[in-house]
Amino acid sequence: IDKSILALMDINDSMLLKLIPHYGDRLAVLDFVKKTNSLKRKSDLYEKLTTKINANKKEKIHLKNNTHAIKTVKCIEIGWMHFDLNVCRYRQVRKKGGGGTRNITMLKESNKKDIMDAAIKIFFPNGQSTKGSICDFQTDLFDFQEIPFMEGITILELLQKTGLRSLRFYLATKDKCTPDCFDNSNSNSITLNPIETIDHQHFSTITNILDEYPSKNDESNTLTSTTPPLVDDEYDAVPISWFETRGATINHESPNHNNYNFNAPATVTSESELFLPSNTSNEIISSITDNPRSPSAHVITTIENVPINSFPDINNIQNHNHLILHRGRIFQELLDAIEKIDKSCDSITIELILPNGLPENAIDAGGVLKDALSEFWSSFYETSTEGTTLKVPSLRHDFKILQWRTIAKIFYIGWKKVKYFPVKLVPSFFEQLLFGHTESDLIEVFLQTKCETDKHVLSNALKDLENVDLDEVLDILSDLGCRNIVNKNNFKKILEEIAHKELIKKPMFIIDCFAEELKEAAWKQPISIEILNNIYNNMKATSKNVLRLIKFEDSDLDFTQRTTLNFLKKYLKETKEDNVINFLRFCTGADMITDTKIKIQFTNTTGFLKTPIVHTCSSTLELPTEYESFIQFRSEMNNLFQSNIWVMDIYLLYN
């Protein structure tokens, strides 16, 4: 029976009595039917009423709740960059200085003028800011690449052109009376006498780099300062580009010396930083100081007695490349940079940008290049290889021929410039690459790519297959794609075939890319099988190999010096492999052994100055002797090597 019919029936209706004999049940049914009909009638009336109201509106809102409809507005990020005369570049103003990053909604048809007007209203309310009145500044708008935004382009056009999902713009301001920072007419050019060396009274700075930047009035965070502070509270440093190749003319002002003239172009980043070639003999002294408030170590770098002939040669300077890389992004940035560089370039220097956005104060005389290569290959091991102790290059869907050939170019440049070799890659990879066949035992190499558990099971199975857990062996072989039934007669042969597949066949595409790149490089000094074996035997950062590098400047050691030396030897023997690698990288800049010795000298320092000092170019380590026990020595060395980053500072010695 339909509900509408039930609603018309009486409670004593004969048909209803037959269907529902109990009186109470009839009452409940009739009450439910009447209530349902009433609600439905009200709902129908409401729908008719809203339909009539919407029909009278001029604009329809049928897309109001449609999340897939095309929107006419876009949320963008706006920042503020102000030109800093101290560094002659734009730097982002931090939030407490009236800047920061703001999110605003703009029409997609908005152009440069509309965005600038909105930014000025945000950062210059009523025309005023912490920097002054808007009338005192020249204004411009930078896009997300920190270059001037072109007139006439809308937000929608920029989104379609770049393919980005979000956009960031910067309001760029500059004092109207700002002088040209690079006006050569106002600076004295330097003429360098080839027989003179530069020597002058030195100055030093110890600067603390904290996770939270210290305020300007926090004197406890700065020990001494004879130069502007490394971190400015008011700004966030914004680099102009991630990497660039630049040429400039060296200009320098020295009030205490004659004017020199050196017209050859050279790669510089500021008036005080000179980037020397990799074959310079000058020392870079790196001092690590322990700061209990920060996980960072702090380094002081010194350039002493810089000879004029260490500057880039005028005839070859055109082939010089200066790369600016960010710590933590070196893998991708170096890949992008080397892709655009000719592998036959005469010299490469690298400048590293710290996580706080400021450049690291270090002159690349070979050590910075080794440091950058060490970080590059460490990232390569993590993202592009398989294996544990030894690594096998693995194919990536986002790496095509160009990327693999660029990695081969980085390998070539590293070996040619500083004799850096990625020793964690399996030797069979380079044997197949260089000689066209393998010389090493593939099974032994393959086992070093497996975890300790699988390595132990397979090693025991090679000795006696019948006395091992066959299920464990079959599980390992199944994961490796084995399709044969193994027994004691064919197990070794099957394992050799699997090792050949994993070590040679899988990375063969990568090997071919490397081979083509090295062939085009016309490698004049290829690595022989003897050199390759020597690399893997003697150039890995093991305790035994590192101890072999240690050389003493003074053979006549007193008791405290002998004790400290024994502490160092014991530490290298007992500590874990990661600390041995960090020790080697701290002393030489590389995480593998190059053709150099580590010279040990001793200093009598106490208190805060009691810290290891390293001269990276000459690989000389200065150790304090005032250690009460080996436990104290081990604790300080562990704290040093557990630092997240080693920050460098420099000072020059002039004559």
What's the per-residue H, E or C state across 123-164? Answer: HCHHHEECCEEHHHEEEEEECCCCCECCCCCCHHHHHHHHCC
391 class by beta-carbon count within 10 Å (0-12 exposed, 13-18 middle, 19+ buried):
buried
Is 335 a residue whose pLDDT tops 60? yes
Which of the four pLDDT bands, split at 50, 70 and 90, describes residue 479? Answer: very high
pLDDT at 282 over 90: no
Percent residues over pLDDT 70 in the chain: 68
More confident residue, 323 or 201: 323
Residue 195 has pLDDT above 50, yes or no: no
Relative orientation angle of helices 470-479 and 452-463, to the nearest 10 degrees = 120
- The 8-class DSSP code of residue 185 comes to G
Instruction: Provide the pLDDT for residue 45.
Output: 73
- Which residues face 303 on adjacent strands? 652
pLDDT of residue 291: 35
Q: Which residues of 271-284 are buried (b: 16+ CB within 10 A; e: fewer)?
A: eeebbbbbebebbb
Q: Is the pLDDT of residue 502 over 70?
A: yes
Sign of CA dihedral 622, 627, 632, 633: positive
**421 contacts 592 by C-beta, under 8 angstroms:** yes
Residue pLDDT, tens place only, 546-579: 988 888 766 678 888 889 989 999 999 999 988 8
Q: For tokens 């690349």, name the residue.
A: 364
Name the phi and psi angles at 630, rounded to 5: -65, -35
pLDDT of 553 reads 64
pLDDT digits (tens, 9 = 90+) for 60-73: 555 555 666 678 88
Neighbouring CB atoms inside 10 A of 442's CB total 20
Least confident of 455-469, 488-502, 631-645: 631-645
The predicted structure's pLDDT at residue 235: 41
Query: Is residue 3 very low, low, confident or very high in pLDDT (cuts 50, 70, 90)?
Result: low
Residue of 161 and 203 predicted with greater confidence: 161
To 5 degrees, how large is the angle CA 284–CA 627–CA 204?
Answer: 30
Contact indicator for 276, 282 with CB cutoff of 8 Å? yes
Say how far apart CA 171 and CA 93 lie, in whole Å: 10
* SS3 at position 268: strand
Q: Does residue 127 come out as left (phi exceeding 0), alpha (psi in the -120 to 50 range) or beta?
A: left
Q: Which range, 21-25, 65-69, 345-349, has the best average confidence (pLDDT)?
A: 21-25
Query: How confident is the model over 117-138, as a mean pLDDT?
Result: 90
Matching residue, tokens 């085009």: 520
Residue 289: the pLDDT is 33
Instruction: Say what the pLDDT of residue 370 is.
Output: 86
Whether 194 shows a pLDDT value over 50: the answer reads no
H helical segments located in 464-558: 470-479, 491-500, 508-520, 529-538, 543-549
The answer to whether 272 and 651 have CB atoms below 8 angstroms apart is no
CA distance 188 to 194: 19
User: Which is nearest to 620 in space by CA: 604, 639, 648, 599?
Assistant: 599
Q: Any bridge partners for residue 620, and if so which?
A: 599, 615
Give the pLDDT of residue 251.
32
Whole-prediction pTM: 0.53
Closest Cα partner for 650 from 393, 149, 272? 272
d(CA 262, CA 190): 5
CB 231 within 8 A of CB 214: yes
Average pLDDT, whole number, for the chain? Answer: 74
List the structure tokens of 37: 């009909």
pLDDT tens digit sequence for 166-192 = 888 999 999 887 655 444 333 333 333
Residue 252 clears pLDDT 70, i.e. is over it: no
Give the model's pLDDT for residue 380.
96
- The answer to whether 468 touches 457, Cβ cutoff 8 Å, is yes
Percent of the chain clearing pLDDT 90 (strictly above): 25
d(CA 250, CA 261): 9
Which segment of 35-44, 131-140, 329-338 scores lowest on mean pLDDT?
A: 35-44
Instruction: At 134, list the tokens.
Output: 């808007």
- DSSP letter for each residue of 203-228: ---B----SSPPPTT-GGG-SB-SS-
Among residues 374, 318, 363, 371, the alpha carbon closest in space to that of 342 is found at 318
